[in-house]
Every structure is written in C-alpha cells, then in structure tokens.
Structure 1
Amino acid sequence: MDFRQIFFDPQGRSSPRDFARGLIVLTGVMVAIQTLTVIAGPQVNVLQYALVFPYICVFAKRLHDAGQSAWLWLLFLAGWLVVNAVVGGILMQLMVPGAMELSTELVNAMLAPEGVDQAALSAKVEEFSRLSAVPNILSFLIASGLTGYVAYSLKSDPKPNRFGPPTTGSRSS
C-alpha cells in the first residue's frame, strides 16, 4: 500500500482492503490528536484539519472503485456528523452528566454583556475538554466505524471504469 497515493491523491480506485487500512490509520491519528488535546490543551484540535484531505482521498478512491462519484463523500460526512452528534450526546449524558451544565456555563459566559474573564473562561474550556474526552473519542470511533463499514461494503466494479482498472483483491459481491 502506497501511503502517498492513498492519502494524497483523490484519483483512481481503492480496494476495500486498502480503504480499510487507510481509514484505520486516519482514525488512529485522529484519536491521537483528540488525546493530545486533553493533555496539551484544546488548541491542539487545529491539527485535525490536516486530515480532511486524506479522508476525502480515502473515501473518493473507495467510491471510485464502486463506480460512484467522489462527491458522494458528502453523504458519508453528513451521516458521520449525525451519528457522531447523536451518539456523542447520549454518551455525554451517560458518562459525564456534569459536562452539559458546564457547557451551558461556557455559552452563558461568552454571551455575558459585561465581558468575559479570559482566565476563568480558559479554565472552564480546559475542564470541559477533559470531561468530554472519553465520550467524544467513543462517539468518534462509533461514527467512523459505521460510515467506514458502509463504504467498505460497497460493491466493487469488477471491470475497468472511468476511474481506472479494477483493483486487486476487489470484492465484487
């Protein structure tokens, strides 16, 4: 598996096996970033934006292998967002009931007409980040697993298509 081709080139096709490998690597890096966010601070979250294009490339190639347009990746993104939000909300309530009150306090502090105490706000943001870390990581893994499974399950086009020749190890069932 050529990592440059999988993660940085949206053209071509990718077998379900290469797709799964690429998605697992990206998911691992994302979990590492989320964990680092808890350790080093919320500002580390900016690193996740570097993974947007690799995610697009991985899904685009898998969609191409199924004979579909890479633009359908937006449907996978929408599905991921919905699953992540629902599962995250449920897990947050179950695992950290106090986090929702803290979230409300953060919003109220930011909307306060008398101004914001930056030090207090920063401390609350860090506390919220720490409290919500495990539910966020779990919801991310569940949403990624579900959307990844759907993409993995797409039927591969066994013949050459407009995106290239068939992949080796393609599942055409």
Structure 2
Amino acid sequence: MDTAKFQELLLKFEGRIGPNSLMQGAIVIMVIGLILNALTIIIPFIGILGWALLYPMFCIYAKRLHDGGKPAVWTLAVLGAYIVVGMVLSVILTPLIAGDMVAAAMRGDSAAALGMEFRLKSFIIAAIGTVVTHLGVAFIVNQFVKGDPAANAYGEPPADAASPNPLS
C-alpha cells in the first residue's frame, strides 16, 4: 500500500472518492480509534486524542459527498449523526456491560468504580460503539450518496469507483 495514497485519502478534503475508498478510510480511522481506546486502559486520559480523528473523518466524508455533487458542509451533519449514534450506543451499552460499576459509583464506592475492571468494561463499550458507528455511518453514507458518473464541480470521477481495492 502506498502511504501517499493514504495521506491523500485521510488528510485532504479536495476531490472525490468512491464507496470503496470511504470504507477503507473508515476502517483505518476505526482501527486507530480502537488502539486509542485500548490505551485508555493503561493511560486513562489518552482517549482525548481521539478527537483528532475528526479531521480525517471530515476529509473522507467530504470527498465522498463531493462524488455525489454535494458540498462539504453536509459532512457536519454526518459527523453530528456519528456523535449522536455513539452517545446513544453508550447510553444503551453502559448499563448492560458496566451497570454494576455505575451502581458502585452511585453508592460512593469510587475504588470499585475507577479500578481496572471499570476501565476494561469501558473499553469494551467504546470498542463496540466505535465499530458500529464507523462502519454503520460509512455504510449509510455509501447507500445514500450516489456518485456522479461524469465530472462535476469537484473534479473527475474517482478512479476507484469500480475497483475492489482502490488503494493498491
């Protein structure tokens, strides 16, 4: 794989990409997010670096929307939906996976609530939410955004529109 193509995909928002490139970009960002989530087990506040992943997410969704002839400002709606879906999943999964820890925290037992077991359960919640939101939002965007077969205001059609592996 060519690192220049990954940099182009993840760090620039000009141009157009097809559905395969969007999925590959979403998977790369998802894996980086999962690694950051895993590191929060050891270093609790490193997860804040995950907010830096919003820029590459903006880039891939802006280019995918450009492929459908839509302006990049629509990416804000996609990212807003991503954040809302993540929050809803967290609200649903937290009582299911870490309900006992939340109850301990509400009773004032901070030692049990902030221990390694809580961090591990928090990682599981974040990992499930990360996978579902990244892949789900990318899939939904690909279903609703149909690429223009000809050149549009954002450039020529992407070379990867019919390719199964656009980054190879």
Q: TM-score, normalised by structure 2?
A: 0.82
Match of 1:168 among 154, 159, 164: 159
Instruction: Name structure 2 gaps, 5 residues minimum.
Output: 163-168
Identity %: 26
Q: In structure 2, what is the equivalent of residue 136 of structure 1?
A: 126
Are the equivalent residues in 2 in contact too, given 1:80–1:147 (CA < 8 A)? yes
Q: TM-score, normalised by structure 1?
A: 0.79
Are the equivalent residues in 1 in contact too, given 2:27–2:135 (CA < 8 A)? no
1:130 Cα shift? 3.0
1:35 Cα shift? 0.6
1:50 Cα shift? 2.8
Match of 2:28 among 20, 25, 28: 25
Evaluate the alpha carbon distance shift between residue 163 and residue 48 of structure 1 in structure 2; reply closer, same or farther with a 3 A threshold. Answer: same
What is the CA RMSD across the aligned residues, in angstroms? 2.4
Evaluate the alpha carbon distance shift between residue 140 and residue 104 of structure 1 in structure 2; reply closer, same or farther with a 3 A threshold. Answer: farther
Return structure 1 stretches of 4+ with deviation > 6 angstroms.
none
Q: In structure 1, what is the equivalent of residue 140 of structure 2?
A: 150
For the residue of structure 2 that corresponds to 1:21, the secondary structure is: helix
Structure 1, 86-95 or 5-14: larger mean CA deviation: 86-95
Are the equivalent residues in 1 in contact too, given 2:21–2:160 (CA < 8 A)? no
1:120-154 CA distance string (max 9 Å, x none): 78x82766433321012102211222111112222
Alpha-carbon distance in 2 for matches of 1:31, 1:91: 17
Q: RCO (CA 8 Å, sep 6+): is it higher in 1 or 2?
A: 2
Alpha-carbon distance in 2 for matches of 1:79, 1:134: 21
Are the equivalent residues in 1 in contact too, given 2:58–2:79 (CA < 8 A)? no
